[in-house]
Chains A and B, each alone.
Chain A
């Protein structure tokens, strides 16, 4: 059965994207005020216009994108492996056998704590490090998932 993430993850992603767009437009505003852009004979001359447009543009993308990535984010706990399918522009499907799992983390960032969510980080011995992260899980469910995944006899694979 394919699981979806908790819908509240969209809130976290939107919040993060909005924060980023505020940061970026602040930077643009700084450049505008220090007269880096010189649009003397147009509407762009109004201070803060470019920064505002940047903010609006980034916010629209930042609000729409989480809905799309939520739509495409699916995962499945199979008998022998963990299967993850994600990506809006780039589709990525990852398969990690349960016998290959080295250790598991349940971690909560500040936004995740606000929404009562947690993320499960799955480490394998692979050279690409902690590549497998399942964000947006309810804390109890993340703990359950961790306990399910950890109860596997690990082979000495290295």
Chain B
């Protein structure tokens, strides 16, 4: 076998140094530019020179003082020059293996291999960088020893058989995904960027002097114009952030492909940065299927796969399968989980809604009534918010459904989007029954099912009748702690 050579100490790809130098050139050039601009040139030049040396030293350390070794039982990584750190990860504990390749890395024909385990946040082991060929070999080596089966490395490189492809996106569909994914974080970025626009067009900015403020400059301008300007900036930034998100998501989901290879799912995507993630089916903690009215119109859903390791690339514990046709969803989740699953049907307690009504009225209406003694318009505002809150809660309580049986727990939640989370019972770690004094008043309780992957409120059945909740806690416990999962 050609993969035997991983069992001796190995170094990273020699081009690592070259890549690091090129990748850091812009920042080095920038600091050099700063240094040459300053008045005390020689002093800053010296500092810059020292910094440069330090950076280059770090580059050399990151190549010459890293060795790795992969044996059938463990992944071993030794780093550092003064404080030497040796880390070994049992192959058995590896959650998934990801290969990432940015545009520049692709030119160098090198790739980053990330090894995720369940413990802690972040990545336990990463190899920066090895050649793409080696990266694929490392992954198939790890996976084959994990399962005691031979995984053809040829398959992992993308020549898979057509029937193994679970899901793939055409370029047109990628545009569709990019259009739908609007992230508020981009909005913040764009808004910040707008602040710096005036440096490009200094003439367009009206400077208000102190005298003008004293002459009530703002009051003299028409309030309509001010409102228009604010609305204009708001919409411009929404459109700009949507465009930014569109391009970023297009880059992220370009040529998306999910393939089943033996007992793993391999997900590939990306235009400039290629992601190549391998998730062993056994390691999947939960699967959630989400849809919203817009996606529903086109007949699509989104699937999230939850694993215990933190996905470094997305800073999430989930992997997203975007834009999957509704008729394929069931088949896909069945492949991921290894059993048949249905949409949840059981409804939560009807008093849940009244709980939110009382919560909404106490939280929003009461303070506004108190304030209305001083300011009458606050009452109206409070009432509007209260009614909105109650409306939202009515819809979201209507959407809450759940189902518990011998193999899985299914929980449906959501307001705008509907999220169905399917948690296999064999992955449940603890069950918690919680009843605060407010919930006690309405005779309802909340059940939270904890797994190794962070699911947040998606793993909470809220709220159930008092007695039902106790019974259900007991039932879930009996189902998952008395049964042996092979």
A interface, CB within 8 angstroms of B: 80-81, 89-100, 124-128, 131-132, 155-158
Contact = CB atoms under 8 A, between A and B. Distances in A.
Contacts of A89: 436-437
B434 A97 contact: no
Contacts of A126: 429-430, 450-452
A124 B426 CA distance: 14
Given A91-B436, A93-B473, A97-B430, 13 more contacts: A81-B481, A90-B435, A93-B470, A94-B430, A94-B433, A96-B429, A96-B430, A97-B477, A97-B480, A99-B481, A127-B451, A155-B484, A158-B118
A66 to B, nearest CB: 18
B267 interface: no
A90 B445 CA distance: 10
Contacts of A127: 317, 450-455
Contacts of B453: 127
Contact of A92 (B434, B437, B476, B480): B434
B431 A155 contact: no
A155 B482 CA distance: 13
Interface string B298-311: 00000000001000
Contacts of A93: 432-434, 470, 473
A24 B423 CA distance: 44
B413 interface: no
Given A89-B437, A95-B473, A157 B431 contact: no
Interface residues of B, number: 36
B252 interface: no
Interface string B441-454: 00001000011111
A157 B485 contact: yes
Contacts of B433: 91-94
B401 interface: no
A97 B473 CA distance: 13
A96 B429 CA distance: 7
Given A124-B450, A125-B118, A128-B450, A81 B477 contact: yes
A146 B257 CA distance: 47
A132 B431 CA distance: 11
Interface in B446-481: 450-455, 470, 473, 476-477, 480-481
Most buried by A among B283, B434, B450, B484: B450
Given A90-B435, A90-B437, A124 B118 contact: no
Contacts of B317: 127
A98 to B, nearest CB: 7
Residue among B93, B433, B445 having the largest count of chain A Cβ atoms under 10 Å? B433
Nearest to B308: A158
A124 B427 contact: no
Contact of A124 (B430, B445, B454, B485): B430
A71 B470 CA distance: 20
B95 interface: yes
B440 interface: yes
A157 B485 CA distance: 8
Given A81-B481, A93-B473, A155-B485, A125 B435 contact: no
B124 interface: no
